[in-house]
Structure 1
Amino acid sequence: MRFNLPYVLLGLLTVPVLVAAYLWQLRRRRRAAIRFSHVALLRKAVPRQRSWRRHVPIAMVLAALGLLALAGARPQVRAQVPVSSSAVILAIDVSGSMCSTDVSPNRMSAAQDAVRKFVDDQNAKTRIGLVVFSGFAQLSVAPTTDHEELLTAVDGLTTGRGTAIGAAILKSIDAVSEINPQVAPSDPNSGEVQGDPGVPDGPDQRPTPTPSPSAPSTPGTPSGQKAPEIVVLLTDGANTRGVTPESAAEQAAQRGVRVYPIGFGTSEPTQMVCTSEQLGGGMFDGPPQGLGGLGFGARNFLVVDEDSLRQVASTTGGEYFKAEDAEQLNTVFKDLPQRADTQERDVDVSVAFAGLAALVLLLALWLGLRWAPHPQ
């Protein structure tokens, strides 16, 4: 147990002072006691009472004062608290490989359906944010309790070119820092950077945004303390550009942000077929026609880099999940709150001490009235 206002504990010194004053008063009364010549008459005038009873209410009042002093010092204990009391950042891969039909009807549609169910199952007070990434990452919806806004954004997801997993982690850290002042923003200039191998895994080519040199790099959380916010990262491929996932995970770990990666899709991606909505309103005359022209090396970027995602989970204190079809993905999202819904943090228990003090005072008053001597 720790105290936010430890100097208030000086108030506990009043308890021994009051005990000394009470004992002094008892001794003074004994000295000033009136001597009766007729003991039988005294016994009839004042009923017999056990001597210890008259001290109990006073002792309870003193105990209540001590409890109030403890409450004023704002005691805190380490306890498990639900993540629903904070926020969940969903980082969703929208690279072109999400058009692969190895998961019916395609990976993107299955992911959208699973995310919708996950959002619907959350408490109305749970804040959820949405980060989408392909060749770069962007915050689509800031953490909010307006789940309808979030679902609208999920329904409108479109594919892009490239897979910037590390950038998605950094963008998620920034989303957390906006709602938790103890979490510092990410440092986009820190860590190893991976080049773009030019894998044609999607219909849209966008430049990677230039990172801001002014972003602070000093972690804002005390060493070893986990932020209540978590990041759920869903991807079906491997990082192709920008900061590496391992480097981004180091920054997340420094700030106490846990990342729960989900590797989605099979190891044998098939023909890529996206709907016109998923292609961004028909940016091409037709969907990509399979993977025919890609060599083995390019094909590796269309399957999950499990080693990298496991490393991200291990570094940040999260957990890695694997889903090869829509049913498994729905199960992962359903079970995720049971795996990541609590974490250790300091909880203020001053109200409990104050309530106990009030209860002790009421009990002292009741015992004082019940045990008070009444002439017969």
Structure 2
Amino acid sequence: MIPQLVPLLLPEFKTPERLWVLVTLPVLVLLYILLMRMKGRVSFRFTNTGVLGSVVGSQRRWTRHLAVAMSLCSLVALGLAWAQPLGTEKVPRERATVVMVVDTSLSMQAEDVEPDRLAAAKQGALDFVNELPDGYNVALVSLNGTPQIKMPPSTDRGAFERALMALQLEEGTAIGEAITVSLEAIEQAPVGEDEESPPAMVVMLSDGTNTVGAGHSGPAAAAKAAEVPVFTIAYGTQNGYVDVDGARENVAPDVATLKAIAEETGGTAVNADSADSLADAYQEIGSSVGYEEVAKPITAQYAFGALGFAIVAALGAVMMAARWPR
């Protein structure tokens, strides 16, 4: 079966300089057209077409064109295969640093998510971290008016759980500063035996609008420059509320801001309005955090495609050569 070539139309090549062979294809096409015209002139000399038909047999023009077209397609596929095309494959990361940013602003006391937003957020973050490979470094940053590193990058899951469960509600929401603090936490991550820092990413859970600081634009640009994607979870329902000084205030999540942060940094933005949907959101993010795309050779797929085209071309040639009973 001919492989699905549509997603492979513009792959990378290990030896792209070999693609020069494709330049010969237009020459072959022009040569075929020239030969067809010359054959037409020679055939025109035989005025008795009935006799000519009995001698050479009947050949269908479309069969000849099909055989030639498939032959050219086979040559194209072989030329691409010779250049050693590369595809991508998702493989588990061996090392990484994940910074968990948990919103602890006063809006997290809303009870639209049982038992309340903060308690459910803690459990969701803990479950997510426990699913990560043991070799991953995990850091914890609190998101409020003055974001802080509550735990530097470490593989100690017990220490992370203690730091997470100790989070308390604080005033304010400084989303931009939380990103900056997260980048500072990443710098504290231990390097591997190769003296290189592992890839890093930030997972931010928030339910509110930025109320402190200049905003997220500058920090998001810094994260993008550092190649640190920020995955965001807009947490809570649109009808969530808290009582402040006897007045009820709506605390709907700022979906637009969190989505913008994710898009600007190369992360993913998801929404969660319940404990179950929060677990689903973490699972979706985990599929990106726990894996990376690596290049792999896909020469065999192109060679297989060339074989498929060649088989069709051979069948066309057989149909032209055979004398079918009338």
- Structure 2 residue aligned with 1:152: 162
Deviation at 1:340, TM superposition (A): 2.8
Counterpart among 134, 140, 152 of residue 142 in structure 1: 152
Range with bigger deviation, 308-317 or 241-250: 241-250
1:241-320 correspondence runs (5 A): 241-271=212-242, 291-292=247-248, 294=249, 299=250, 302-320=251-269
Q: Deviations over 1:215-265 (max 9, x none)?
A: xxxxxx9xxxx9721100000001111131222111100111100010000
For residues 168 and 81 of structure 1, what CA distance do their matches in structure 2 show? 30
Q: Does 1:229 align with 2:178?
A: no
Deviation at 1:118, TM superposition (A): 1.2
Q: Deviations over 1:323-348 (max 9, x none)?
A: 0111100111123221332234799x
CA change 1:227–1:261 in 2 (3 A) is farther
Q: TM-score, normalised by structure 1?
A: 0.51
For residues 105 and 251 of structure 1, what CA distance do their matches in structure 2 show? 36
Classify the secondary structure of the residue corresponding to 1:322.
strand
- Structure 1 residue aligned with 2:95: 85
Contact 1:246 1:308 in 2 (8 A): no
Contact 1:143 1:175 in 2 (8 A): yes
CA change 1:249–1:324 in 2 (3 A) is same
Unaligned runs of 5+ in 1: 3-76, 182-220, 273-287, 348-376
- Structure 2 residue aligned with 1:172: 182
CA change 1:240–1:271 in 2 (3 A) is closer
Q: What's the % identity of the aligned pairs?
A: 29
Q: Deviations over 1:102-138 (max 9, x none)?
A: 1111100110111121122222211110000210111
Counterpart among 118, 133, 142 of residue 108 in structure 1: 118
For residues 92 and 153 of structure 2, what CA distance do their matches in structure 1 show? 17
Name the one with the larger helix percent.
Answer: 2
Classify the secondary structure of the residue corresponding to 1:101.
coil
- Structure 2 residue aligned with 1:128: 138
| Letter aligned with residue 137 of structure 2 | R
- Structure 2 residue aligned with 1:64: none
Contact 2:96 2:198 in 1 (8 A): no
| Letter aligned with residue 288 of structure 2 | R
For residues 345 and 250 of structure 1, what CA distance do their matches in structure 2 show? 25
Q: CA RMSD in A?
A: 2.8
Contact 1:93 1:236 in 2 (8 A): yes
| Letter aligned with residue 99 of structure 2 | I
CA change 1:84–1:140 in 2 (3 A) is farther
CA change 1:246–1:91 in 2 (3 A) is same
| Letter aligned with residue 267 of structure 2 | G
For residues 262 and 274 of structure 2, what CA distance do their matches in structure 1 show? 21
Q: Deviations over 1:270-295 (max 9, x none)?
A: 345xxxxxxxxxxxxxxx57643x5x
Contact 1:270 1:290 in 2 (8 A): no
Classify the secondary structure of the residue corresponding to 1:179.
coil
Aligned residues between the structures: 208
Contact 1:101 1:107 in 2 (8 A): yes
Q: TM-score, normalised by structure 2?
A: 0.58
Contact 2:107 2:242 in 1 (8 A): no
Deviation at 1:78, TM superposition (A): 8.7
Unaligned runs of 5+ in 2: 1-12, 15-86, 297-326
Range with bigger deviation, 236-245 or 140-149: 236-245
Counterpart among 286, 291, 296 of residue 342 in structure 1: 291
Deviation at 1:177, TM superposition (A): 2.0
| Letter aligned with residue 147 of structure 2 | A
